[in-house]
Amino acid sequence: MSTYSISSFESLIKKINSESEFLDTILYETAVPSTEMFRDPSLWRWLREVYFPDTVDRNTGRFKIWLPACVSGGELFSLTILLSELGLSDKVQITATYSSDKILEYIKKGTYDPKKLEVSEENYKRANGSRELADYYRTDKNNIIRDTSLIANVEFRKLNVNFDNVPQNIKLILFRNNLIYYNPTQQDKILQLLYGSLSVSGHLVLGIRERVSGVSTSREFEVVNEAESVYRKRMLN
C-alpha cells in the first residue's frame, strides 16, 4: 500500500471505487504467479501421452481449451509447447483469461523470470518434452523472452473476479493452484461456473492438492486421474 501512498483500508476501497484503472493495478500487484513451467511433470506426461492423443483426434469441431486464471503464462506456454510438439496447435482454440488487463499484457510479451528457468528445464525433461526448452526462449541481457509465436492464436480476454460471462463448450479447463486462494464457499461457486462452461464430458484439471469437494459439485464431477487431480463433467439426470 505504501507504493501507492495509501494509508488505510478505507482509502484503499475509496480509490478502487473512484478510479477504474486502479482495481486492475491492485489485481496485477496481488496476483500470484505460477511457480515453474511444466509444474508436476507427471501431469504433463499424462496430457502428452494419454489425454491429448485419445481426445483431440476424435473431436470433429474445434477443441476448446480455457485457462481461467492465466497469471504469468507458465501454464499457457507449457500447454502451447506441448500442443506444438504433438502437432495439434491448429486443432485447438485456447482462451486465456484473467481479471487484470495488465497481467494479460505482461503475458503477451513472453517475459519470464530467469530464477524459474532451472526447475522449468528439469520439469520439461521429466515431462518427456521432445526438444530442449531453450528452443522456446531467447535471452536478452538478463531477461528471458519466450517465443510469442506459440501464443499467437490464443484469445486473451479479461474476466472479472466473479467469473461472469465464462466461455462455453470448453473441452479442457486448466485451473491449477488458483482455487486455493478462495474460501470453501467461493470455491464451490467457482466450480459451479466451471461446470457450466464445460461441454459434455469436458475435463477439469486442478492443482494436485486441490480437489472438488463441495456438496453439490462432488456430484457433478467424476475423478479421471486422482494423482493429477483430473476430473470429468458428469451429466446429471
Partner 1 sequence: MGYKAVIIGGSAGSFQVVTRILNSLPKNFPVPVLLCLHRLKHVRSGFVEALSLKSNIPVEEPYDKELLKPGKAYLAPANYHMYVELANRIALSTEDTVNHSRPSIDLSFITAANAYREKLVGIILSGANKDGAYGLKKVHDNGGIAIVQDPNECEVKTMTQSALQLTKVDFVYSTDQIISFLQKLSKSND
Residues engaged in binding partner 1 (CB under 8 A): 32-36, 39-41, 119, 122-123, 126, 177, 179-181, 183-184, 187, 207-211, 213
Taking Cα atoms as reference points, which of 220, 215, 155 lies closest to residue 194?
A: 220
Write the CB contacts of 57 (distance below 8 Å, at least 6 apart in sequence). Answer: none
- Distance in Å from the first CA to the final CA of the chain: 50
To partner 1, the closest distance from the beta carbon of 61 in angstroms equals 33
To partner 1, the closest distance from the beta carbon of 184 in angstroms equals 5
To partner 1, the closest distance from the beta carbon of 16 in angstroms equals 22
To partner 1, the closest distance from the beta carbon of 82 in angstroms equals 17
By C-beta, is 55 or 143 nearer to partner 1? Answer: 143
Q: Where are the alpha helices (H) located in 86-182, listed in sequence order? A: 101-109, 117-126
Taking Cα atoms as reference points, which of 30, 47, 51 lies closest to residue 178?
A: 30
To partner 1, the closest distance from the beta carbon of 18 in angstroms equals 29
By C-beta, is 43 or 198 nearer to partner 1? Answer: 43
By C-beta, is 14 or 125 nearer to partner 1? Answer: 125
By C-beta, is 92 or 129 nearer to partner 1? Answer: 129
Distance from C-alpha of 237 to C-alpha of 221, rounded to nearest angstrom: 13
By C-beta, is 41 or 110 nearer to partner 1? Answer: 41
To partner 1, the closest distance from the beta carbon of 199 in angstroms equals 27
Q: Where are the beta strands (DSSP E) in the chain?
A: 63-67, 92-98, 111-112, 137-140, 143-146, 155-158, 170-174, 198-205, 221-225, 230-233
By C-beta, is 119 or 224 nearer to partner 1? Answer: 119
Write the CB contacts of 210 (distance below 8 Å, at least 6 apart in sequence). Answer: 176, 177, 179, 180, 229
